[in-house]
Amino acid sequence: MSAPVRTPVQIAWVTSDLDATEAALSAMLGVRKWVRLAQVHFGPESNTYRGKPADFFAAISLSYVHDMQLELIEPIRGGANIYSDFLREHGPGLHHICVEAADADAFEAALADADAQGAEVVAQGAMPGGMRFAYVSDPAAGVPYLEIAQIPGEIKAFFDHIKQEQR
């Protein structure tokens, strides 16, 4: 049995230099404006990495090309996490695409589908505002990371504001 079609809503890069990555993608994709979140805390009470509590900070920059969200992530400090490990192992680059789950049931179903296909849940958590996320991976099949996100209305409104900034 195959999973339902899940359309990607985001492409994300991990970088050690937000300025350089913003400039490069702006030039290549015509992005007009980036919105930065300077000190995003991924706390151990709501985030895990490889089954253990995760506690770290990252700078995040967001923009859009049409309806596709672009996300840049620069790990700043803290313990082991999916972004710092990626930088150390692969250097800066394309990290994941994200698909949106419509609600909690769809989020759990997407995780179950990934597990049934042999993908591992590498990291998961919740952000302030109620956004849930999980990264699944099947590197042997060429899938480093796929993010599954449940995005509440308040966060969608913030994302819509960023999208409007491109006009």
The per-residue pLDDT for range 59-111, each reduced to its tens digit, is 999 999 999 999 999 999 999 999 999 999 999 999 999 999 999 999 999 99
Model pTM score: 0.94
Q: Show Cβ contacts of residue 85 under 8 Å, excluding neighbours closer than 6 positions.
A: none
Name beta bridge partners: 75: 58
CATH architecture classification, 8-165: Roll (3.10)
If pLDDT is split at 50, 70 and 90, which confidence band does 2 have?
A: low
Q: What are phi and psi of 116, to 5 degrees?
A: -65, -25
Provide mean pLDDT across the span 28-43.
95
Domain spans of the chain, in order of start? 8-165
If pLDDT is split at 50, 70 and 90, which confidence band does 165 have?
A: confident
Quick one: pLDDT at residue 129?
87
